[in-house]
Structure 1
Amino acid sequence: LKALGDKVGQIETAVADLQKNGNTAPVDLGPLNEKIAGLDALVKSTGDAAKAEDGRLAALEQSVSQLSGKVEAQASQPKIALAIAASALKAALDRGAPFATELDTFAAIAPDAPELAALRSYADKG
């Protein structure tokens, strides 16, 4: 019991010293404040980078939209060329003149046209 009493006495003395002196050692918050400042800067730079990427994304979307328009415009070009070639071929047929050149042009644009085989035999003479 004596040992237990001594131990309790030591604890009471330690508690009394802590109450009397408290924690008088100042806490250095400098490193913590530096880390917080670094994190704030990182968040700001990340936000700025995200805004810059949003601008780039908008520019890319606009470019894709413009290219889509150009592709659609180009898609109609073969139809126009086919119409012109067919018109030239018809005009040559109506004249009764040889039409091999017109037929070759039409065949280059529409190689799978079923009329080609029948017209080939008359192309040189008209």
Structure 2
Amino acid sequence: MLYDKLKTASRLKELRIEKGFTMQEVAKKMKLKSRGTYSDIEHGKSNLTTQNAYILANIYNINVDYLLKSSIVNDKQVIIKPVQLEKELEKDVTYNGKPLTSTDIIALKAFLQGLTSSK
């Protein structure tokens, strides 16, 4: 799953509030020109650059993947609930630039089910 700007923005807001920081404080820690620059990132108006993702991961003591990937939780475990998987697979899913067919998706679900059934 790719970078989801709104999911990342939501996580940034949660992390900031959890730490008790203001937007101004985070912008200052990131050495940004203004609070507005950070606000645009947190509200999903601007993309989060790789450099800023690493800075924020350091500020919040988290894994960069947690900020950028919609299926990663902060404790570094990959968690995708079956309902979430179904919703993701309803979208146009591609692998190596090629769209997956409905047969591919059925095979993928079967593979994942078999992979996790013994755990």
TM-score, length-normalised on structure 2? 0.22
With a CA cutoff of 8 Å and minimum separation of 6, indicate the structure with the bigger relative contact order: 2
Q: Which has the larger radius of gyration?
A: 1
Say which structure is richer in helix. Answer: 1
TM-score, length-normalised on structure 1? 0.21
